[in-house]
């Protein structure tokens, strides 16, 4: 596959995380992208990447959700588990550079407006979950030992022989 863009590898990596059990919608793909890469790429570049990878048969659409094809899954299984995300991205780009088109595939059209809507929905959901962290925790009430024991003497330490 030529040329290989960074967004292609980011999209495949995030789609492998999001669509692990079942096909993933755009919001879960955006959440996985933010989790794996700590940033969300431009919606236009993501849209082009969806188009490129689906024309090569690496991304499939199933009922409005997206999943990896068997070729893309084999690329992901060749990744090492101990590598960090940057190393995984570079290895995935190498696999993509060595990949050749096998037959004709249906191109998935994901528009940048749909991706932008998914990004804004993800950010709105992220803001709602962050508000719970801003609530002050109640401070513990400190009780002295004297008040806790209330006059009972504490046992003395005994020496072990």
What string of pLDDT tens digits covers the 161 residues of the chain? 678 888 999 999 899 989 988 999 999 999 999 887 888 999 999 999 999 999 998 999 998 899 999 888 888 887 787 888 788 888 888 888 888 887 788 888 899 999 999 999 998 888 776 555 455 666 777 767 766 666 555 566 666 66
Domains and CATH numbers, the chain: 6-134 (1.10.10)
pLDDT at 26: 92
Question: Which residue matches tokens 């780009």?
Answer: 93
Locate 154 and state its tokens. 């504490």
SS (H, E, C) 94-123: HHHHHCCCCCCCCCCCCCHHHHHHHHHHHH
Asked if 89 and 9 count as a contact pair (C-beta separation under 8 A), the reply is yes
pLDDT at 75: 86
Cα–Cα nearest to 53, from 116, 112, 1: 1
């Amino acid at each position: 596959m030529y040329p290989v863009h960074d967004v292609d590898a980011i999209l495949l990596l995030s789609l492998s995380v999001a669509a692990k059990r079942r096909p993933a919608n755009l919001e879960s793909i955006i959440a996985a992208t933010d989790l794996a890469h700590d940033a969300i790429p431009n919606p236009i570049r993501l849209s082009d990447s969806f188009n490129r990878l689906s024309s090569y048969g690496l991304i499939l659409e199933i009922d409005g959700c997206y999943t990896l094809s068997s070729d893309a899954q084999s690329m992901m299984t060749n990744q090492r588990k101990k590598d960090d995300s940057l190393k995984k991205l570079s290895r995935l780009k190498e696999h993509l550079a060595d990949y050749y088109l096998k037959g004709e595939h249906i191109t998935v059209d994901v528009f940048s407006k749909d991706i932008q809507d998914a990004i804004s929905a993800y950010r709105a959901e992220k803001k709602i979950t962050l508000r719970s962290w801003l609530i002050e925790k109640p401070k513990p009430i400190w009780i002295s030992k004297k008040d806790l024991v209330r006059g009972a003497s504490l046992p003395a330490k005994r020496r072990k022989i």
